[in-house]
Structure 1
Amino acid sequence: MTQVGEGQEAEESAPPVMTFGAPTAGEILAERYELVEHINNDSAGRLVWRGVDVVLRRPVAVVLRYPGGDSATEMLQAAVAASRVIHPNLVGVYDAIDEGERAYVVREWVDGRSLRELVADGPLDPARATAIGNAVASALASVHATGMVHGNVHPGTVMISDDGRVVLADARTDGEDSQENDVRAVGGILYFALTGHWPHAEAPLRGATAGHGRAAIVDAVRDASGSIAAPRQVRAGVPAYLDDLTMDLLDPEIASPSSDVLAAELGRLDIPAEDHFLDQTGTIRFSADPGDDPSPLAAAGGRKVAIGIAGLLAVALVGLLIGISAFGGDDSPDTQPVARPSTSGAPAGGTAPAPAPAVRNLTIQDVRIIDPDSSDRAEVRNAEKVIDGDEDEGWETASYRNHGKFGGLKKGMGIWIDLGAPRTVKSLQATLSSTGASAELRAGTADFPSSSSGDRQLVASYSTTIGRPFEEHDGTKMTFNGFDADQKYQYLLFWITELPEKDSGDGWKLGVQEIKVQGS
């Protein structure tokens, strides 16, 4: 895997960045990160090492810059910002340290290849290109939801692991980019994956110039006016819907969609090759035919992103179908098909109603204990046990000696849940260790640092309550099903307000054994 700081390698003939005091294999940084092997130097002159976190015993990538201090500010700020966004399609950032004479960022090690290296073997088939574009757009949607910009989307920062996972690496915070540019770059990713050519000659890869050795990428085919050839003109077999989508994203005259809308559209197109729905539906275009009558949308602002309206309608339709479905109780199976009307009475020549989406267990991407009223953070461990599928083992609070809100010491504690991306949610069910607890479910739109201060900000921000709270519940399962069918949710907070008394009578305590979220 080319674990590069900005997705690009330096020329093989490039001189070392530093000779005096350069790191060596076996050196341990910050008493934790052991350097194992120097991989390469990136185009920004940073040293990239494969390392090991000797505390957690996991592989890491270490990106070093000499010197540290002011010259490393942008790199460190970008790393800190990136560490706050957790998403399966983003490379995890673990640490960022400035030692003055040097600074370094420690991040997830990904075994695999960059998209640039992958396409060097030849353009990708349309289905795989769509899947990669979908993953990148989904990652950007999570970044943009926090108000940040990635600013560094190109074939060198899109990485494909050996197990097929697609991750986006190395965000920048230099203020030169915008969320719209991030979205336009997804069009470049699609174009590159389909053709092997990079369409942004006016915005070359950072550090990549003509003759930059392996960092150089072939420019797109252009006519005399400088316009690029469409993917279907470069190679055969590119579906019209994917060709249209790619060219719309690259056209500055067409308003770009938001990243979440783009992710939803690419998710719709990212279906198994044996399914042929796209042959009938095609893609949703970002602009109306110039010959069409002007619509109110066009009159209001010219060529608008029609995909946004279609996306909202699709969400409303999914919510309506889910809203009329029946959701089972505690003993219901993991996957519950929505009741489908009989098609036997369909009129002659008519079509049977389309099946509604199935309600299923949603994947919980991340969980964290929220403890805003404590500074020692002693109770925030073992959050992962609430999603491990084992109801015999879970997370539990400490024992409190007095009745009330955690012995009168805290207003509450909670479990923060990240679904990885906005989802249509039907219900959340929490399995508890005993009866008598009080709790409520809240929803929010952002993540915050894992600290007492960050937890206080999170609790204050999560003001939307889902359904009715449970007061001294007489059961061990709490099911919240008051979700708005017309909205999507990514971040939830199971907030515990009262603890039950222990059976032994010597204090108050609660365990959360398992949490399941269902939706579609």
Structure 2
Amino acid sequence: MSELASPPSGAAAPWEGGAPTTDAAPTPFVPEQKRPEDAPTVRLGPSSETPTVPAVPSSTIAGTELAGRYRLRTRVGSDAAAGAEFWQAEDTILRRDVGATVLRRFTGESISESEAAARADEIVARALRAGSFEHSGCARLLDVLAPGTGGIPHDVLGVAVTEWVPGRSLAEVMADGLIKPIAAARAVAPLAAAAEEAHRHGLVLGCDHPQRVRITPEGRAQLCFALPRPNVTAADDIRGLGAVLYTLLTSRWPLSSADAALAGLGAAERSPGGSLVPPSEQRPGVPVELDALTRGTLGPAGAPGQVHTAAAVHRLLDEVVAEHDRMALFPPADDGVPSGPGDVWQDKGRTVTPSDPRRRRKLATGLSALAVAVLLVLGYIAVQLGSVFSEGDAPPIKVDGGAVSAPAAAPADATQPDPAAAPGGVAAVAGVQVYDTVGDRDNSTRVSRVIDGDPSSGWSTFSYKQQFPALKPGVGVMVSFASAVQLSELTIESPSAGTVIQVRSAPAPDAAFDETVPITEVTLRDHSTPVSLAGSQPVTHVLLWISKLSGGGDAHSSEIDEVQFRRAGS
């Protein structure tokens, strides 16, 4: 994948016919000459009292190794206002790509060495303060080489190393043509979230330069190079967010035209009065909210509708995206961009891309495998159904307490019972859990013992010093079935006589208590207590709610050893 390369230092100025090129030879880093309207916010003026820094040969060329670890590979841009170069570099120890922002000493300006060092110290100090800040909207800072670090060239005043952001520059994205306005809003939202978080911590990103931002393969704008100029403020970040959005909507950079030319972008159009031409006047389909957002972030200070915080930018972008998602079922307004393959609404004249033969073969193979699997499942079901209907004379299976066995064969002369008059069998339980509306669930790891078919093991509540509902309203056992079942009877095995249990149906295992419906209430006897559920409605979840514990004094608790449900007979 090609990277956008800025012109080597000393190339012709953009308005003199210069074009972005890659570094072909070691050349000194000289700030590009700017027209007055393109000048950066702060420029360091000449000093007549102190000697100027003599011109020195550049030593930041492709292949230069910094601190014995980071090898510069491709220069992808520069920020003259910060005296910074942007490089794609290689971490030779961890064998990975990184982004390197290299602060260079200006060789064409009349500033003293002490002034250049002081400016670098301020920029690097700001980067060190931001070292603990991490956000998905900006590349993570990995290393900072402060002035005086061994192994860096003599004309390098500092280096910041960040994660390399894969993807494309703004110019490369715009070279493919305009993108949909909603895609632009989705792209800028993560960058706005990063700026919001940084400003909350008293930090700034410096996203007001087009070559500091890249678009990831997922379509997210991400800050990729650190070390902004020393006087950058939160207000500059807000203007930068508006500029990135404006560029994605119009393919033109609205801030410095010199920065736009270096980045390979056109300068934004302006009216005769000097104001920016809104994106909606340059292309159709731009939502009025995005139009207002670009005006509010890029307009003059104090203008009506000015946006003052990154949080406001982030919130408005999220609202635009959410509204678009809500209206996705309605035909979109024409935005001048052809529909994509994944769009719900397609252009009538859209050309259908021929299908890939290899993909068709893979799809056919997958469908064949699926058909074979379906046939095997249908065959298994047929065999099982055949065995059920062919063994009509076999004795019925008896299920008792979870154990499955076949009863002994009846004598030949015994009278066979009428199957229609036989009572319903035991209902199989699919799951069980402790139900507690407050506090910890009592002995939740042991609750499965109430359905294990072994009355000698059981589950018990905690021991409470006071009777319910002094400390809590109660505690229960929620029993779930695989599907709705009509029950006729419930048997509870328990040694805790006097325990009061409400039997309630529930719409879900985690339903609120107010959503459960009472079926009946029972006071447990010692050992086995049958509970009639005749006349109840089919249920999927049954709650055994203990509203009164057994015991007395300062030791109140109840134990349930086994529960068994029977289906209604027919």
- TM-score class, shorter: 0.3 to 0.5
Between the two structures, name the one with larger relative contact order (CA 8 Å, sep ≥ 6). 1
Compute the TM-score of the two structures, normalised by the length of structure 1.
0.45
Tell which structure's C-alpha radius of gyration is larger: 2
